[in-house]
Amino acid sequence: MEITDYQNLVGYWWFAADTNGHLAAFNNAGVGEIPAFLRQDKDRYEEIINAWLDYEKHLPRRGRAHVSIIRPGTLKTMERRGHTLEEYGGDAREDAERGFFVYDAELNHTSPHYSKFLRLFIPENPLHLNEVDERMKSKLLALKSPILFAKKDIFSSEEIVSLFSALAYAQRS
């Protein structure tokens, strides 16, 4: 069954590797696009994401998470709630501490059907594909072009749909 409700307040995650073998975690936050490959088969998506969510919980922390982009208005909201910038992020910050570049969708309020993905956190010590369990490599999406997560702050909706594909890394090794 195809995933059609991905922009209906449902958080869809996926994990990907860039050209250098660095890993990123993406969250559509219920407003962003998801890669075409993942939309094709909901059962396959759920198998992939459940395996990754379980696997990443057991990864050790590798270092600090550095804030990359703060959404407009976030600092004022945090100040009103008595939080500091270091407290921002929750699970996303923990993913970055485990070595993932972390991207999150943000709705463009000028159009309800357009969103962008902002890089929220940069890991101090990025996790590399070579450090990932062999069974998990086939559950990563790969970029179709030579983009590096360390240099890419924002992905557009169009890029999210078209740039990612399934790639069984374990079969390529």
Q: How many structural domains compose the chain?
A: 1
Residue 21 lies in a domain: yes
100 pLDDT more than 90: yes
Average pLDDT (21-47) is 80
DSSP alpha helix (H) spans, the chain: 36-39, 42-57, 74-81, 91-97, 134-137, 157-163, 169-172
Give the tens place of pLDDT for each residue, 105-129: 875 555 555 577 888 889 999 999 9
Residue 5 lies in a domain: no
Q: How confident is the model at residue 78 (pLDDT cuts 50, 70, 90)?
A: low
Residue 3 lies in a domain: no
Residue 2 lies in a domain: no
Q: How confident is the model at residue 13 (pLDDT cuts 50, 70, 90)?
A: confident
Q: How far is residue 76's CA from residue 66's CA, in Å, rounded to a whole number? A: 19
Residue 147 lies in a domain: yes
Q: In this predicted structure, what is the pLDDT of residue 10?
A: 59
Domain that holds residue 145: 13-172
